[in-house]
Amino acid sequence: TAGITQAPTSQILAAGRSMTLRCTQDMRHNAMYWYRQDLGLGLRLIHYSNTAGTTGKGEVPDGYSVSRANTDDFPLTLASAVPSQTSVYFCASSDKGAIGDTEAFFGQGTRLTVV
Amino acid sequence: SQKIEQNSEALNIQEGKTATLTCNYTNYSPAYLQWYRQDPGRGPVFLLLIRENEKEKRKERLKVTFDTTLKQSLFHITASQPADSATYLCALPRNQAGTALIFGKGTTLSVSS
């Protein structure tokens, strides 16, 4: 089973350029999330979506935008990348909108380097 | 908002011993708490969930406790093996509305043979 698929696996991006990180899930989960993981800072929530058509801001939303046009896809866009956005990005999904008491499933991550 | 502390960045133990990892949180008491395992270059993988009305939860060699008075969860791996070497993350609901999980920074466990 595929679960959550993220693309690309890694990317080097010039500062000032835009980029969309893709995330697709095949589990029909209603909630999806984007996290970034940095050494010494752990996983930090960027944006989330409890159901298709709705999104919310996490702890570190600045410089990022998301959309949730359907259940399966939750792309993350960097409009104008800066070096501080160099990180590993993880997409996740869960079965309940408020994550309730169910587990989160994570993708394999996208390693982004902004130069 | 909720804050999580995993008070050991690294823990080194010998094979066969019990590893004990700690997760402390501030502010409100969450309805549940989760533990994840993360291997290098991979996404976190769910291990266990414990609810606020449960004192203890077990799964094979894993045991989790939840003390809402101390605002603490302990994660134990008994009869540890080198394959248990990984980073273990504690996770809680971000707020009382439960919109998304927040994670501790993790404890990296190394089990030597």
Residue B2: per-residue pLDDT: 79
CB within 8 Å: B46 and A104: yes
CB within 8 Å: A45 and B45: no
Residue B43: per-residue pLDDT: 97
Residue A95: per-residue pLDDT: 86
DSSP bridge pairs for A33: A48, A92
Residue B42: per-residue pLDDT: 96
Of A35, A50, A109, the CB nearest to B99: A50
Chain A residue with CA closest to B48: the answer is A103
Predicted confidence (pLDDT) per residue in B37-46, tens digit: 999 999 999 9
Predicted confidence (pLDDT) per residue in A79-91, tens digit: 999 999 999 999 9
CB-defined contacts A:B, below 8 A: 67
Of A100, A103, A106, the CB nearest to B43: A106
- Collect all residues of chain B within an 8 Å Cβ-Cβ radius of residue A10: none
CA B9 to chain centre: 12
Residue A100: pLDDT band by 50, 70, 90 thresholds?
low
Is B78 within 8 Å of B18 (Cβ atoms)?
Answer: yes
Rounded distance between C-alpha atoms, residue A96 and residue B18, angstroms: 34
Chain B residue with CA closest to A47: the answer is B100
DSSP 8-state code for residue A73 = B
Predicted confidence (pLDDT) per residue in B8-41, tens digit: 789 999 999 999 999 999 988 888 999 999 999 9
- Collect all residues of chain B within an 8 Å Cβ-Cβ radius of residue A55: none
Predicted confidence (pLDDT) per residue in B56-111, tens digit: 999 999 999 999 999 999 999 999 999 999 999 999 988 877 768 999 999 999 99
Residue A53: per-residue pLDDT: 96
Rounded distance between C-alpha atoms, residue B46 and residue A22, angstroms: 22
3-class DSSP state for residue A9? coil
CB within 8 Å: A58 and B94: yes
Predicted confidence (pLDDT) per residue in A38-84, tens digit: 998 999 999 999 899 999 999 999 999 999 999 999 999 999 999 99
Mean pLDDT, chain A, whole residue set: 94
Is residue A97 pLDDT above 80, yes or no? no
- Collect all residues of chain B within an 8 Å Cβ-Cβ radius of residue A33: 100-101
What are the tokens at A102? 């169910």
Chain A residue with CA closest to B51: the answer is A101
What would the mean pLDDT of A106-115 be, rounded to a whole number? 98
